[in-house]
Structure 1
Amino acid sequence: MCSSEILQAFLDGELELAETEAVRNHLACCPACRRELSRLRLLWLELEQEDEVEVPAGLPFIRQQAVTKARAARQDMQRTSSVSLWAAQKLAWQPLLAGVSQIPGTRQLGQLARTAGRGLPGVIKGVSSIASKIISKRRDQR
């Protein structure tokens, strides 16, 4: 009989007389259901309170700032799709680099990874430009 739904119906007065009596008898011997019923009663009391929350005066301005920053970030990502790919790859490697930097004696590995990472965007850009040239030559040959 331990059921939150039944206890909610009991609390709302939705049960038939026989069901109400059965729940009362069960509550007399079940401390878990009594705790749950007390929790539900407190929840209903909190929901019945009509506390008005005062909205800060600067909230519309803060919201507008957040929207503007999000739009600007989205436009930046759309303008530089190869950079956004690089940024995602760089972000994906951060946990590994952080872990490697914590191992004693591997500080040099962390420095090496950062140094190699600086040159990677140029390599990616070069490969993509060569690939686009090859593709355009193939299209011209058709």
Structure 2
Amino acid sequence: MMECSQESLQIYLDGEMDAPARKRMEEHLSRCRSCRQEMARLQLLWLQLGQPGAVDLPLELPYIRQQIIHQSISSTKQARGYNYWDTQKLAWEPALLGASYLPGIGLLSELSQSTLHQIPRLISGTITFARRLISPRGDKKGGLR
């Protein structure tokens, strides 16, 4: 004996039951009045859904559509909270990531951590190094003859 189930009625109506289950459902429907009523209701529903119905669209539908689009765009902008500077930071992130792989870039962090009294010494050391590169070794005055 089969139990009453709206799901099994729907499967029967869709034609998805195998032959033995279909036979049991037909026997159950012959004995169960509530399942026959439910089956009739489902069949009527299928008939109503199968008929094309004319739907009258409101005349202001294009205006409503534009309002919805505008509201969704403005709410998206407010939710993100991006301004000009945020987009600039976002645009520069890949370049900064690429620059972080350049050799010697780690020295910049050491330079930024140096205190104020060390900066003049670093500058003078850099100038001395540059003079050695520019001037020939034999020239003590730093100029060319």
TM-score range, shorter chain: 0.3 to 0.5
Relative CO higher for 1 or 2, CA cutoff 8 Å, sep ≥ 6? Answer: 1
TM-score between both structures, scaled by the size of structure 1: 0.43
* Larger helix share, 1 or 2: 1
TM-score between both structures, scaled by the size of structure 2: 0.43
Structure with higher Rg: it is 2
